[in-house]
Structure 1
Amino acid sequence: MDQLTVGEVAQRFGITVRTLHHYDQIGLLTPSRRSASGYRVYTPADLTRLSQIIVYRRLELPLDEIASLLDEGNEVSHLVRQRERVMARLDEMANLVAAIDHALEKAMTNTPMTDDDMRELFGESFDDYQAEAEQKWGETAEWKESQRRAKTYGKEDWIQIKAEGEAVEKALSDAFRAGFPADSEEAMNAAEQHRLQVNRWFYDCPPDFHRNLGDMYVSDPRYVVTYDESFGLPGLAAYCRDAIHANADRQLG
């Protein structure tokens, strides 16, 4: 059949009669002939134009732009143009899929940490530190806020927290080993990074409150052991405390 009625075209191309009537009303696609009974029918040339319209619509072009494109080129130019647009969309979709895959991978790996995970990451002494911290700070707003935030963190977050903490410890120990005084830029900058880490991950930590954390480096014997013996640098714990105090003085002017 070389001539189709509007109903037959709608069925063949999977579009609605209403859509075809709309294309006719705006002059985008008008049936070229009439049947013997007077009905307007679509010719093969009309169907070719409709195929091009459908492709452009799938590429999300507005109807007025489609009309301009169809009126200015032949079939070969349309196919070339459509291929270029499709390839561009393929590149766009590939980038979108890659972005989704990256987000999905992060979401799947950033799973909540179990107690065993925390012990594996922070060592077997994690439970003792946690229990002592709760006993000492459990009624404070800072402790409650840190617990609230901690519940939202997954494994990747805790790995980052640990890495940042180790970077601070290294900066302080390097400054101490190099002989920089506790009130040097190197030591105070490392202390400020520690304060900002607490502030970012656990609770609001203004300079004066940070002094309290600094005092724990010498008031808690285990801190002294950790920083003096583990790093093999006697006096490091007191140095960290002094750097935190010096940085608080600097921050408060």
Structure 2
Amino acid sequence: MAGDIAEGRTVGAVAAQVGVTIRTLHHWDEIGLVSPSARTPGGYRLYTPADVARIHRVLIYRELDVPLPEIAALLDAPAADAVESLHRQRDQLRARMAHLRSMADSLDRLIEARQTGLLLSDEEQVAIFGADWQPSRVKEAHSRWADTPQWAQYAERSAERTPAEWQEIAHAVNAELAEAFRHGVQPGTIEADALAERHRASIGQYFDCTHAMQVCIARMYVDDPGYASFYNALAPGLNIWLQRIVNANARARGVDPDTATWS
């Protein structure tokens, strides 16, 4: 075979066999990591089967990200020391594998969230958002906004949330809004503006929301029968009042609710 001479192999043949470059083998020779131990009659250096076996051991350690100086020490260490080091490398590798599995699981959740928007079953959605909640809204939202930056943010944030966290997000502000509405808080007042800001912050749990975006969302509370039903189930007329306090707060901050667009 080309590259084979008696009991040894040339650097080019070994490089091709083990899948590294000739330059790499020359470097390992220079630093004393793996050196060819045989010679041809003409003085050319050759790698013996034992040398090639050592190269394979080096490659295994490299896969574990062990630095070259440590590899040299491991290869030449007494058996007991080498075994102890191998145990450490095994434990580190297992830790890395667990971390990579966790990352893969997170990516799976993110992919699913980007595709569906909400990692909750229909039953969980109704239990969290109320009997009037329609799970089909999530699919409708995906069809309308899947290509927007806001949907990407929404998916990334929802991918990490548990049902309990969704429960907290869904009810914290809505309960305050319904209570304020029942107590007659008027749009444009300091209290109403503060509630409008808390409502905007609650949307910010899903994606970054400007005052103009909040106005656009509040329009759906009145125009969309599903959203209207959801808020009116909390308190009859809450949807209209919520739109009014959102609009008043936006107007006070320089946004015209009549011309506001998704920006």
Check whether the contact 1:23–1:30 (CA below 8 A) recurs between aligned residues: yes
Q: 3-state SS of the aligned residue for 1:66?
A: helix
1:173 positional shift: 0.4
Q: 1:102 aligns with which of 106, 122, 147?
A: 106
Q: Residue 77 of structure 1: CA displacement? A: 1.2
**For residues 177 and 231 of structure 2, what CA distance do their matches in structure 1 show?**
12
Match of 1:230 among 230, 233, 237: 233
1:78 to 82, 101, 105: 82
Task: Return the offset for 1:104.
Answer: 1.6
Secondary structure in 1 matching 2:115: coil
Distance 1:237 1:77, change over 3 A: closer
2:14 aligns with one of 10, 15, 38 = 10
The answer (yes or no) to whether the contact 2:29–2:36 under 8 Å persists in 1 is yes
Counterpart residue number, 1:172: 177
RMSD over aligned Cα, in angstroms? 5.4
TM-score by length of 1: 0.54
**Sequence identity of aligned pairs in percent?**
27
Distance 1:230 1:16, change over 3 A: closer
CA contact (8 A) 1:176 1:236 kept: yes
Whether the 8 Å contact between 2:37 and 2:48 is mirrored in structure 1 is yes
- Tell me the distance in 2 between the aligned counterparts of 1:211 and 1:42: 74
Stretches of structure 2 that go unaligned for 5 or more consecutive residues are 1-5, 123-132, 159-165, 255-263
Residue 244, structure 1, aligned to residue 246, structure 2: yes
For 1:205, the aligned partner's letter is: H
Q: Distance in 2 between matches of 1:242 and 1:201?
A: 22
8 Å CA contact 2:10, 2:45 repeated in 1: no
In the TM superposition, residue 102 of structure 1 has moved relative to its aligned partner by: 2.5
CA 1:44–1:81 in structure 2 vs 1: closer, same or farther (change >3 Å)?
farther
- Count the aligned residue pairs: 215
- Which residue number corresponds to residue 196 of structure 2? 191
Greater helix proportion: 1
Name structure 1 gaps, 5 residues minimum.
Answer: 131-146
Kindly indicate whether the alpha-carbon contact (under 8 Å) linking 2:10 and 2:47 is maintained by their aligned counterparts in 1: no
* Cα distance between partner residues in 2 of 1:190 and 1:166: 14
Distance 2:184 2:218 in 1: 21
